[in-house]
């Protein structure tokens, strides 16, 4: 069986297999935070569970902001909700 790396959700702080989480990456050049849907983007990543509670919690607790140490537009959370 293939080993799947475990990553921590920024909202609930539990470890899950990487492929069960939404990955966000901060672009090193522009500082823009984007979804890494194809798992092809490089850079520092943050992960959130694919559920509404974790996305809302991440927004409330500013989990992604704290992870990347920069502002996260509200639209990003809205977009995350649409991904699940
Ligand atoms: Zn979570």
pLDDT digit string (tens) for the chain, length 84 residues = 678 889 999 999 999 998 899 999 988 788 888 888 776 777 778 999 999 999 999 999 999 999 998 888 899 999 999 988
> Using the 8-state DSSP alphabet, how is residue 82 labeled?
H
CA–CA dist 15, 38 (Å, integer): 21
Terminal Cα distance for the chain, rounded? 27
Q: How far is the CA of 54 from the centre of ligand 1 (A)?
A: 5
Question: Any idea how long the chain is?
Answer: 84
Q: How far is the CA of 15 from the centre of ligand 1 (A)?
A: 8
Domains of the chain (ranges, CATH numbers)? 6-83 (3.30.1230.10)
CA–CA dist 58, 74 (Å, integer): 11
Q: How far is the CA of 12 from the centre of ligand 1 (A)?
A: 4
Q: How far is the CA of 24 from the centre of ligand 1 (A)?
A: 14
């Amino acid at each position: 069986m293939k080993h799947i790396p475990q990553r921590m959700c920024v909202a609930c702080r539990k470890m899950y297999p990487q492929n069960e989480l939404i990955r966000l990456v901060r672009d090193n050049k522009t500082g823009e935070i984007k979804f890494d849907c194809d798992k092809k983007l490089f850079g520092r990543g943050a992960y959130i569970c694919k559920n509404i509670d974790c996305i809302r919690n991440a927004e409330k607790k500013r989990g992604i902001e704290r992870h990347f140490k920069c502002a996260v537009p509200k639209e990003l959370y809205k977009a995350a909700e649409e991904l699940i």
